[in-house]
């Protein structure tokens, strides 16, 4: 299992359920003292919680404020920079038309400051973080023995709120750091921003460009092409966004916990530490419960990693085809970004800290090779028609042995679905001009 998420420890304590059924590690008297002291401490911390905002599994008001504080002052983006980004996205989409069967997916081209990135991605972060935080919070009520539940009473809700504040604090710090390092709205492979909004981060792009041999204009166009390619997928493959985010949710729901940490809490817990919010965060980050990897989590993680690898491989393939002869540094820039993802960049570290989940598509190279070979063997339309249905996508095993998958596509037989019919329907949906007697062109380029 990847690095453990916020709120859990890393100990190797045995599962209490495997112990002698005659021994009970929970002492009702000790637990009663703990909850009595917790009540006294919460009485003093009530004002802090009242000012903390919402009472959900993650306090996003705290997260937003801490992220903004971490970012600090950022100069407004100049009109000339915004215009350059808009022009780069227009140009990239024009070039992608010849390398991709999916039409343009972005309707707006924008330049974001780090604060803009936090504001525009927060809704997606809520969907990503809530399932894991809810799972952590439910431990307090579902994993305690019945005698402890009876003693806890309303204190459980207060403990959940304190946990939400601590998780919000952790999230805010992570987003503040990440907002200065991401290059585009789709830099981590997930659609974090609003649908149809192609966004580039000029401050981070400028910092990344230092020391590279490629001209700034080429780097900007290259990153714009990647952003535009991602939006073509996320806009015209309607199930993809929900499948990606759903895999993260499934990973969280699959988590199981044991009660190993509660014994340490009962024997060495100092309730006075809860008077200081930073101590509370430290207490939770040390962990009270140990998560256990489950088959559900393993399956969700493999599904997510494979999907991310397929997205990255497809984007790399179409961007290289569109820019390869136009921008000499395309190969070097692609390799630089691949290493950045493969070695665990800021996004991967953030997810590992917050969710215990590494968003590191381990088979990016294999996915790129598969898409390239499929393009050579079956053509652009057949390659992109694979995205018509999730059952048509290559599996993790197909990435290791692409020849069999390519043969199935050429033979028109994938998972019982008629690939020829899928291609015809795909062409009709993605290029209405082929079937539309009015001859109207597809939607135009993005607007700034």
Q: Which of 14-28, 122-136, 327-341, 388-402 has the lowest mean pLDDT?
A: 14-28
Cα 293 to Cα 71: distance, rounded to the nearest angstrom: 35
Mean pLDDT of 324-339: 90
Q: How far is CA 83 from CA 88, 89, 201, in A?
A: 9, 10, 13
- The whole-number average pLDDT for the span 378-386 is 94
Q: Is 60 exceeded by the pLDDT of residue 265?
A: no
Structure tokens at 253: 């729901």
Top pLDDT among 417 and 38 is at 417
Cα–Cα distance for residue pair 231/216, rounded to 1 Å: 23
Looking at residue 8, its pLDDT comes to: 36
**Of 67-71, 239-243, 273-277, 302-306, which gets the smallest average pLDDT?**
273-277
Question: Is the pLDDT score of 421 beyond 70?
Answer: no
pLDDT band at 284 (very low <50, low <70, confident <90, very high): low
Arithmetic mean of pLDDT over the chain: 76
Is residue 258 classed as helix, strand or coil in its secondary structure?
Answer: strand
Q: Residue 142's pLDDT is what? A: 63
Q: Tell me the pLDDT band of 259, cut-offs 50, 70 and 90.
A: low
Q: Which of 111-120, 200-209, 249-258 has the lowest mean pLDDT?
A: 249-258
Confidence at residue 437, expressed as pLDDT on a 0 to 100 scale: 32
CB 412 within 8 A of CB 378: no
The number of helices, as runs of H, and strands, as runs of E, in the chain is 19, 6
The pLDDT score that the predictor gives to residue 80 is 96
Give the chain's end-to-end CA distance (angstroms, integer): 43
Q: What percent of the chain has pLDDT over 90?
A: 40
Q: How far is CA 329 from CA 100, 217, 282, 336, in A?
A: 20, 11, 46, 11
CB 427 within 8 A of CB 381: yes
Q: 438 is written with which tokens? A: 């009015």
């Amino acid at each position: 299992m990847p690095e453990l998420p916020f709120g859990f420890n890393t100990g190797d304590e045995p599962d209490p359920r495997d112990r002698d059924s005659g021994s009970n590690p929970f002492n009702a008297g000790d637990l009663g003292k703990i909850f009595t002291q917790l009540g006294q401490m919460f009485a003093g911390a009530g004002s802090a919680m009242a000012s903390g905002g919402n009472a959900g599994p993650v306090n996003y008001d705290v997260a937003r404020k801490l992220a903004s504080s971490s970012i600090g002052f950022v100069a407004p983006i100049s009109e000339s920079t915004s215009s350059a980004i808009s022009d780069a996205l227009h140009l990239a989409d024009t070039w992608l038309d010849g390398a991709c069967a999916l039409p343009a997916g972005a309707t707006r081209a924008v330049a974001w400051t780090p604060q803009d990135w936090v504001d525009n991605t927060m809704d997606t972060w809520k969907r990503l973080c809530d399932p894991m935080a809810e799972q952590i919070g439910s431990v307090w009520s579902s994993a305690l023995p019945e005698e402890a539940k009876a003693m806890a009473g309303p204190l459980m809700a207060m403990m959940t709120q304190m946990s939400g504040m601590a998780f919000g604090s952790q999230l805010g710090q992570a987003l503040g750091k990440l907002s200065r390092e991401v290059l585009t709205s789709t830099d981590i492979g997930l659609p974090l921003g609003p649908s149809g909004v192609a966004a580039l981060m000029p401050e981070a792009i400028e910092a990344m460009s230092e020391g590279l041999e490629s001209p700034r204009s080429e780097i900007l166009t290259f990153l714009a092409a990647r952003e535009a390619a991602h939006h073509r997928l996320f806009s015209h493959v309607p199930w993809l966004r929900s499948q990606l985010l759903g895999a993260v949710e499934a990973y969280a729901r699959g988590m199981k916990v044991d009660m190993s940490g509660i014994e340490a809490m009962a024997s060495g817990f100092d309730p006075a530490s809860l008077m200081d919010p930073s101590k509370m965060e430290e207490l939770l980050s040390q962990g009270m419960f140990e998560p256990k990897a489950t088959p559900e989590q393993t399956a969700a993680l493999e599904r997510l990693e494979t999907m991310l690898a397929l997205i990255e491989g497809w984007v790399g393939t179409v961007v290289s085809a569109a820019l390869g002869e136009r921008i000499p540094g395309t190969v070097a820039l692609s390799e630089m970004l691949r290493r950045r993802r493969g070695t665990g960049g800021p996004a991967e570290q953030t997810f590992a800290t917050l969710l215990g989940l590494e968003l590191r598509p381990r088979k990016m190279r294999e996915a790129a090779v598969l898409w390239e070979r499929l393009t050579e063997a079956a053509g652009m339309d057949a390659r992109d028609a694979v995205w018509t249905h999730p059952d048509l996508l290559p599996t993790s095993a197909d990435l290791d042995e692409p020849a069999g998958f390519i043969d199935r596509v050429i033979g028109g037989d994938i998972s019982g679905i008629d690939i020829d019919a899928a291609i015809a329907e795909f062409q009709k949906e993605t290029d209405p001009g082929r079937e539309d007697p009015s001859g109207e062109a597809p939607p135009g380029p993005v607007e700034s």
